[in-house]
Amino acid sequence: MNFDYCLNQLTFNLSAIERLVAGVSAEQARWKPSPEDWSALEVLNHLLDEEREDFPARLRHLFSGAAGTWPPIAPGQWAVDRAYNQRDFGESLAGFLRERQRSLEWLRTLGAADWQVSYRHEPLAGLTAGDLLVSWAAHDVLHMRQLVELKRAYSLTQFAPYAPGYAGDW
């Protein structure tokens, strides 16, 4: 694994996510293509909670050598239980940016960490710190794609009755 590449991706992803939601109105932030889909605000709050309670927390646990299982996470349920779509968009974005900066500062201190250290409990037994780091960077990209798809779908509702077909495969 190329640690510097992963660190750079997490850094660039921070800026990319911030730019993807720039100019999003409160209405657009809460808009969903269907009741089952997430809104941009829900995606952003998911990223915030993952930054607080998942990837960095689990890496810290692995590197500390602490015994025991990780605290459970329930990202899908959190969106409902924590009322993601009712939160303030600006506060959610600021929270994510702040938490990611903290994570990046911590990651920069790791230097020669043992990325082979692994989790010992089922069902994730054998998952290494390296696996977690690359999953974290990949997780960002999945949600950046989701934000782009939400922006596209919302735009189509605003473009009607006109069609953007001339732009290419939209």
CA 134 to the chain's CA centroid: 13
In the CATH hierarchy, which fold is given to the domain comprising 3-167?
A: Four Helix Bundle (Hemerythrin (Met), subunit A) (1.20.120)
Can you tell me the mean pLDDT for 25-38?
96
Q: What is the pLDDT of residues 110-141, one digit of tens each?
A: 978 999 999 988 888 899 999 999 999 999 99
pLDDT tens per residue across span 53-63: 999 999 999 99
pLDDT at 170 over 80: no
Q: What is the pTM of this model?
A: 0.94
What is the domain partition of the chain in residue ranges? 3-167
> Counting beta carbons within 10 angstroms of the beta carbon of residue 154, is it exposed (0 to 12), middle (13 to 18) or buried (19 or more)?
buried
Whether residue 94 contacts residue 15, with contact meaning beta carbons closer than 8 Å, is answered with no
- Assess contact for 97 and 52: CB atoms under 8 A: no
Q: What is the pLDDT of residues 10-19, one digit of tens each?
A: 999 999 999 9
The answer to whether residues 20 and 148 touch, using CB atoms and an 8 Å cutoff, is yes
Over range 50-75, report the average pLDDT: 93
How far does CA 94 lie from the centroid of its chain?
14
Burial of 124 by CB count in 10 Å (0-12 exposed, 13-18 middle, 19+ buried)? middle
Give yes or no for residue 89 having a pLDDT over 80. Answer: yes
Distance (Å, whole) CA 87 – CA 93: 10
